[in-house]
Structure formats: C-alpha cells, structure tokens
Structure 1
Amino acid sequence: MKIVYVITRSDVIGGASVHLLDLALGSSKAGHSVDILVGGEGVFNSRARDLGLSCYSLKYLVREISPGKDIRAFFELRAMLSKLKPDLVHLHSSKAGILGRLAAKSLGLPAIFTAHGWAFTEGVSEKRRFVYRNIERIMARFSDQILTVSEFDRQLALKAKVGDEDTVLTIHNGMPEVCSNRVGFTESDQIRLIMVARFEVPKNQKFLLEALAKVEAKNWELELVGDGPSLANARKLAAQLGISEKVVFSGACDDVPIRLSRSDIFVLISDWEGLPLTILEAMRSGLAVIASNVGGVSELVANGDNGFVVERGDQQGLIDALTQLIKSAELRKKQGISGQYRYRTNFTFDIMLDKILKIYQKVLDRTK
C-alpha cells in the first residue's frame, strides 16, 4: 500500500506531529510505502528524516488563513499527489485536512482525515465554532473516513452533523513503549511536578501557576517543558506570585520520557483538547495525572483511579487535587500503577496501528 500523510505545520512538534511521525514510521515498518507532505521546512522535517522517512516541504501550506497562499497550496498539494500516486491520502490538522481532501478527491484518491480535536470544540469562541462547524460539514462529503482520537470528539462531530455514524469512527491515540519508564516510586519530601506543553492556547500554564501559589503545602517543585509565545508572560507571573524559585522553565526538550521518569506528578491544564499524547506518555511512565476535564481527557484519566480530572476554570478543584497528591506518596503510587495498567491495556501504539491499517484496507476495498 502506498500512503501519503499530510500535516500543516513543520515549525513545531506537537501532539498531531508526534502522532503522524509514529504512524508513518509504523506503517513503513509494516511494509507500506510512505511519504509525508508538510507546510514549510522546520523541526518536523528534520525529525522525519532522522527517522528515515520520506518528507517533502510545501511552500504555500500555512496555518493562517491566506486566500492567495491557500489557493496555491491546493494546486501544490494536487501536483505532489499526482506525482506520488498514492493509494490513499491520510490528512492531519485543519488546514491540511481541508485543502488535502479537496486535492485528493479532485484526483479520485481516497481521503482519510484525522481530527486531533475539532476547531469547533467546547472552549472555542462561538463565532469560530459556527464557522468551522459549517466548514467541516461540507468537508465531510469529501471524506472516505473521518477518524477522531476520542469518543468525545466523535460525539461532538455527530451532534454537529459532521459526517454520520459510519463515516466518523474513534481510534484512540496510542504511544510506543520506551525504555525509560519509572522503575520505582520515591518518597522524597520534595515532590516533583511536571507539565509538558507548548506555551500557547489551548494550554493554560497560567492557571496552574496561580493554583500552585495557593497550595498550602510548599514541598513541591514544578518543571514546565515547552516553548511558545506565552512563555515570557509565564516567567513574569511566576515571579509576581513569589514562586519563581520553585518553577523550572526547561524550554523545548527531546528527552521528555527521561524527564517524566524523574517526576512524581504529571499535570496538564488546558482550555480544550483532543486526546493528549502527553497524558499517555505520563501514564506510560507510571505517573499520577491531574488534568483539565476537556475533550477526551476523561477517556484517559478515570477520576480518583489513575489521577484527577478538574473542571475547566475550577481553581479550588485544582488546588485540592494538587494538595492530595503532594501530601500522599501512597496515593501517587496507587494512581501511577493504575495509569500504567490502563496504558498497556488500551493505549499502546501497536493497538492503534493495527486499527488504523485495517481502516486503510476497508477504505481501499470500498473505493475500488
């Protein structure tokens, strides 16, 4: 099978980027021919080539809405697909999903779109939800299959009349095993919290910092891994709250599994989500998780079992969850073990890859 993957951004490595690279590599190892098309030339391209994957840069595919560039991007995508002659095209991220489906269908190629969280999800402005909901309703007609990474997103699509029960299917994200999983649980007095996320919407490091400043227990330290446009403001806020000496800003890192293995609690505070890969990484590492109850998060974190889910905007709820886990080594260990079991039972990469490759074959059989 010859597969072309398409994603919009090359300048960052986010959840969708990691998912696509894992999937492309897994498909390649399974014996399929794989090419990747991505907007621009950045860290994504380097990572793909380091993995031995064929990756082409697209000059005009950009995240921002730009009618002139978007028209050029459509024809650029169409030309590349015509040249590569894939059996099917698998699209990731909103802009690539729109232009790529149009380009694929104009050539009679099967098109599969994965929604890594809808642009019309809860937490997004009503105006933006209205616009993207209607765009995705139209684009569903150009989709041979739509995959959502959470059942939350599938139900959101069906409620919005984006596709139907047969077109929209849920395949939860999965993560490969790594060798740096936790091998024990420390009972140190200094509790190490970690959040791995870019400093931009929908992530909300500000909310976490404000809650931590009000936690009565002070035997904690926080590592914030990631970069982005709101990083400078977060540094300033930590200083204003008087907790800067307890917060480490590590920037973008390529050794996240090792950093997770040295931590005690994983936190992810967001205004909206799809199905966060970073939570899966934390579960894989045996960490208790505190996360915002948005998107498909509750499909990963069973409240009170392998962590705590906190309602968006509930500062006291976040303070309470942080306090419980900071104070109890026994609870951290219990929830961490439970999370690791949930990961290995339901969210491994091999489980996800097997389901997606079966979808590819079904789509090809249907469209012959």
Structure 2
Amino acid sequence: MGKKPKILFISHSVGGVDVWLRLVLANLNPNLFDIVIIHGFTDTNKVFLNKENKPLKEYKIAIDRNLHPWKDTKAIFQTISIVKNEKPDLIHAHSAKAGIIGRLVGVATNTSVFYTPHAFSYLSTSNKIKRSFFLSIERLFSKFNNKILATSESEKNRAIVDVHYSPKKVIVFNNCINEISDIKELSIPQTWPDEYICSVGRPSYQKNIEFMVEVIKRVTLEKPNVHLVLMGVGFHSPNLESVKAKISAYNLEKNITLLEWTERKDVFHIILKSRLYISSARYEGLPYSVIEAMALRKACIVTDVDGNRDLIVNNQNGLIIKEDNTNEFSNAILELLEDENRRQQFEANSLKLFNEHFNIENTIHNLESIYKTEAEKKS
C-alpha cells in the first residue's frame, strides 16, 4: 500500500464546526488518510479521536472567533510553519476565520484547500455595510486557488450566486450524523410539563429567538398551556437578556423553559420526548439540531431559510414557514399538535429522509472519495 494522503484540518473548534469535525474524524476510514488538526488555544480541550478511538495529531494556534489583527497574523505564520513541516496533500478549513487563514496559507505553500463556510459570514448581520464588507472579503478569496466544500445545496447556491465561485469549484457533502440510539434518562431535573415542544438555539441574531417567543405568545391565545423547552442557551448568547425581557413582558415564564446548559444525551432525550421540533433561524449552514430531530422521528416546523429548507420537505416531514410570519408559524404549531395522524406521518418521513441523506454511516464514503480525488491531484 502506498503512502496515505495527509489531510490537515484548520478550525476554531466550537459549536457546529466542532460537531462536524468530531463526527467526520470518528467515521473516516483511518487506513485511507493521515490526519492532522490545527485549532485554537481556547476552543476545546477535548482530544480528537479517529474511528479506532485513537488520539489524532493536533496543533494549537492563536485562532479565535473575533477579529484580532495581531493574533490573526500570528496564526497565519504559525500555520505556514506547520504546513511546511507536515506537508499535507490537502488543507480543509472551516468557518470564516479559519477559512481566511487556510486559503492564505494554501497560496503561500502551494497546497490545495477546501473551505467549508458553515453558513457564510455575510449572513450573520443585518447591517448593510458589514454585510457588504464580509461579502467582499468572501468574493476576494473566491479568486484564490481553493474550492468550497458546502454543507448543503443552499450553501452551494450561495457560493455560486452570491460569492461568485465557479460551479466547478463547489462540491456538496451534507452535514450528517450517526444514528441516535440508546437514549438515556435525564441527568437533570425535569422542570417542565410532560407535553411540550422544543428547540435548540442560542439567543442570537442567527437563531432569532425573539421571533420564537412572539410565536409562543400567539399560540397561548388558543392553547394557554403550550410549553416550549429551549436548549443551548448560555454559550455565546448575545441576545439572552433581550429574550428574557420579552418572555417577562408577555408573562410567558410558565410557558417557556430556558436550559442554559445540558449534556448531549439530555438534549436527545428532550427532543425524543417532545411533540414537535421548531426552528426560527434567519439562516443556517445545515443545522445539526434539525438533523438530530429527524433522526429522532420528529415532525419539524421551521423558517424558510438556507439549511432548514434542505432538511424539511414542506408537507412531507414538516412545515416550512416564511420568515417573520408569526400567524402562519403559530397556526402550524396548533395544527400539528391537534392532528396526530398527520404529525405521525411527518415523523415517519423524517426518519426515512434522515437515513437516506443524513446518516453519516451511509454517506461517509462520499467524503472519502472527495478527499482522495483532490489529494491525488498533488501526486
């Protein structure tokens, strides 16, 4: 057997990026590739493991979420040094900051680069000046010698239509997860009713939780005892106080439970026992929380945005609602809570779609083929 291609991953490994990386590393065939990981000093202390549960080689550099000219410059030179030492066949950079570093380093070292945005940075703000600035940066880097490895068809379309990547330079590998089984009992006290709907999302511009509170307020006019359990609150939640204020103003403290932190096994338990899963996001890459809900047989009601529309087929495994339409969203919740037959049909379709398109055990060979094809071009 010849020398295995070496892939070097660069990321600020938090949130969905960390989930993506750990899932892929735990499923890639270790006999096919050598893996090296670069991530930040402050993002994660948890070891990265391969499919055989063996620790992978990693480096830590001065990379984090926010803009720091000195730190970012240092991170670029640190990465150049690592790449020159490791000589990877392929760099795979994740999210905006690592994407810039990875693409610059790719040019400096003549190394092939994949960039996965996990939702392009220009989508993260309503400020037109900032949005234009972030989009200009993405368009500039699209001229470099790199390819997009999109997490969804929506992200692929953004790359081509908005960012102006050539269609030949955009590939799709859907976010996907392992089948969820062996659900454990809650490790935390259940402080909410047995009948509830749920969501996962930190209070932020992206997740638009204020809109979700507005929807619940409207639902209570018809169904006063409706209850929402919102998970993922706490870590990097810039709009948390705004959400709490709105809950208080509408007297919804008895209708909404905010879970600031809980283990993944608890998240799965809560989703499994819920009546519905909802998402009010303004944009997504391809949201793991919705994929998890599908894997757990949930009917979903989601906003009609990138990522959500790649997972939910309207009137098949859930309902898609135009953004900011509180009437339509609240009516959809009421409808599915009352119509058990329709909800159960959506649930069965969610699991079917998950297994066909978003079960990593069925799709990882596609990513292995993508990596192998790109790495061999260097040979």
Partners of 2:32 and 2:198 lie apart in 1 by 37
- The answer as to 2:224 corresponding to 1:213 is no
Change (3 A) 1:181 1:343: farther
Counterpart of 2:16? 15
Change (3 A) 1:193 1:106: same
- The answer as to 2:159 corresponding to 1:153 is no
1:182-261 to 2 correspondences below 5 Å:
191-215=195-219, 216-226=222-232, 227=234, 228-254=237-263, 255=265, 256-261=267-272
Change (3 A) 1:112 1:97: same
Cα-to-partner distance string for 1:105-151 (whole Å, 9 max, x where unaligned): 31222211112111234974332332222222222233442111122
- Select 1:104's aligned residue among 106, 110, 113: 106
Task: Report the residue type matching 2:144 in the other structure.
Answer: F
3-state SS of paired residue (2:301): strand
- Select 1:267's aligned residue among 278, 285, 294: 278
Cα-to-partner distance string for 1:309-341 (whole Å, 9 max, x where unaligned): 111111111111111122222222111111111
CA contact (8 A) 1:120 1:133 kept: yes
Partners of 2:55 and 2:299 lie apart in 1 by 34
The CA deviation at 1:296 is 2.8
3-state SS of paired residue (1:27): coil
1:167-186 to 2 correspondences below 5 Å:
167-180=169-182
How many corresponding residue pairs?
358
Partners of 1:250 and 1:47 lie apart in 2 by 26
Structure 1 consecutive aligned stretches of length 4 or more whose deviation exceeds 4 Å = 28-31, 49-52
Partners of 1:197 and 1:147 lie apart in 2 by 24
Partners of 1:122 and 1:80 lie apart in 2 by 31
Counterpart of 2:78? 76
3-state SS of paired residue (1:90): strand
- The answer as to 2:69 corresponding to 1:67 is yes
The CA deviation at 1:29 is 4.3
Cα-to-partner distance string for 1:239-298 (whole Å, 9 max, x where unaligned): 221121222222222222222112121111111111111111000000010111111321
- The answer as to 2:367 corresponding to 1:356 is yes
Partners of 1:84 and 1:363 lie apart in 2 by 17
3-state SS of paired residue (2:11): strand
Task: Name structure 2 gaps, 5 residues minimum.
Answer: 185-192
More displaced 10-residue stretch of structure 1: 120-129 or 342-351: 120-129
Task: Report the residue type matching 2:230 in the other structure.
Answer: L
Q: Given the two structures, how large is their TM-score scaled by the length of structure 1?
A: 0.89
CA contact (8 A) 1:45 1:55 kept: no
Partners of 2:344 and 2:134 lie apart in 1 by 42
Change (3 A) 1:212 1:300: same
- Select 1:296's aligned residue among 293, 296, 307: 307
Q: CA RMSD in A?
A: 2.4
More displaced 10-residue stretch of structure 1: 142-151 or 202-211: 142-151
Counterpart of 2:288? 277
Change (3 A) 1:56 1:200: farther
CA contact (8 A) 1:191 1:219 kept: no
3-state SS of paired residue (1:245): coil
Counterpart of 1:186? none
Task: Report the residue type matching 1:157 in the other structure.
Answer: A
